[in-house]
Amino acid sequence: MTADLPANDAVNDPEAARAAMRDVAQEPGVAKPDPILVADGVARRFGGLTAVDVEHVEVQRGIITALIGPNGAGKTTLFNLLTNFDTPDAGTRTFDGNVIDKVPAHKIANHGMVRTFQLTKALSKMSVLDNMMLGATNQRGEKMWRSMVPFSWKQQEAEIELEAEALLDRFNMLHMRDEFAGTLSGGQRKLLEMARALMVKPKMVMLDEPMAGVNPALTQSLLQHVVGLRDEGMTVLFVEHDMDMVQEISDWVIVMAEGAIIAEGPPGAIGSNQAVVDAYLGSHHGEPLDLDADI
């Protein structure tokens, strides 16, 4: 637990950030008091099909925001657009005050935004420890010529190893450090991917369906880790199908349908929003949406 964790030097403690959200209007595209990520007019078409067409959306700094919506709503596409893994046909994205439209995907991480993937990308033929150490930034030994002169990077390597071990310890995975990542279970891979993202020391973590395919026994521990990220000052945006998780840990919910943002609000209120009910159940349904049900 001694990990030198990516504390955000910033501004807020999470409580204050959550408190600030109480006064935010519950409407799509609403302005937030302290947005870290802003997307404006972002659109992406595949052939004739519009996958994403978001007029405006902001993500508040220091809280957990959930991005939900029915299948095919464009959540993952928006995720890819926000992290520059895909290029929009139009629109501007701003992260932490910088326009990131032309920033290549790998530099997004250096700006302080790290993502995970829906289909976990644990590097299965590498050890758990190597997976972790890969995440560290500004490694001297990653320069091709320098890598052949070990004494120039051994010192830093040792420090990174300590960091990685501390994080593994925190995620209760230290005993697996030398195993190939390919031998881990689905839930362990999700944990590894999250821990690896923290090695970058990000300001913001974007999790694409962190609960998909995770053994229920691991769910609680995963949730606690996500909450832990926020409590250390990081911003979290996650895509999720599991409504239990959304209700339990998110501070704010953004709902997408058919490529657009259709509703925003705190998790308690979003279930009774008419637009959300229509999107999930078709427009002729009158009952409030029971978000506790498995959808």
Partner 1 sequence: MDIGAIFENTMRGFIGEQFIFFALAAIGLNIHFGFTGLLNFGQAVFMAAGAYGLSMMVVTWGLNFWVGVFVGLVIFPFILAVILGAPTLRLRADYLAIVTIAAAEIFRIMVRSPTFDRWTGSSDGLGGFATDFYDLSPFDPSERYFFDLFIGNQMWVVLIGWIVLAMAAFACWLLIRSPWGRVVKAIREDEDAARSLGKNAYWYKMQALYIGGVFGAMGGMLRAIGTQSAQPDNFITDVTFFVWVALILGGAGKVLGPVIGAAVLYAILNFSDIVLRQGVESNNIPDSIMSGTQVGQVRFMLVGLGLVLLATFRPQGILGNKEEMALDDR
- Say how far apart CA 34 and CA 61 lie, in whole Å: 6
* CB-facing half-sphere around the CA of 155: CA atoms within 13 A: 3
Q: Report, in Å, the least distance between residue 258 CB and partner 1.
A: 26
Residue at token pair 């694409």: 208
Q: Report, in Å, the least distance between residue 54 CB and partner 1.
A: 21
β-bridge partners, 92: 40
Q: Report, in Å, the least distance between residue 37 CB and partner 1.
A: 16
Number of H helices, E strands in the chain: 11, 10
Spatial contact of 88 and 81, defined as CB atoms under 8 Å apart: yes
Residues that bind partner 1 (CB under 8 A): 83, 85, 104-110, 114-117, 121-126, 130, 133-135, 137, 139-144, 146-148, 150, 153, 157, 180, 182, 196-197, 199-200
Nearest CB to partner 1, comparing residues 182 and 268: 182
Nearest CB to partner 1, comparing residues 235 and 273: 235
Q: Report, in Å, the least distance between residue 59 CB and partner 1.
A: 18
* CB-facing half-sphere around the CA of 157: CA atoms within 13 A: 12
Q: Report, in Å, the least distance between residue 32 CB and partner 1.
A: 25
Q: Report, in Å, the least distance between residue 192 CB and partner 1.
A: 11
- Say how far apart CA 258 and CA 46 lie, in whole Å: 13
Nearest CB to partner 1, comparing residues 41 and 182: 182
Q: Report, in Å, the least distance between residue 84 CB and partner 1.
A: 9
Nearest CB to partner 1, comparing residues 32 and 190: 190
- Say how far apart CA 237 and CA 207 lie, in whole Å: 6
Nearest CB to partner 1, comparing residues 107 and 285: 107
Spatial contact of 289 and 272, defined as CB atoms under 8 Å apart: yes
Among 227, 233, 231, 224, CA closest to 204: 233
- Say how far apart CA 189 and CA 181 lie, in whole Å: 7
Write the single-letter amino acid at 23: D
For 30, counting Cβ atoms within 10 Å of its Cβ (0-12 exposed, 13-18 middle, 19+ buried), the class is middle
Residue burial 140-153, b: 16+ Cβ < 10 Å; e: rest: ebeeeeeeeeeeeb
Nearest CB to partner 1, comparing residues 32 and 196: 196
Nearest CB to partner 1, comparing residues 146 and 285: 146
Nearest CB to partner 1, comparing residues 24 and 109: 109
Q: Report, in Å, the least distance between residue 175 CB and partner 1.
A: 19
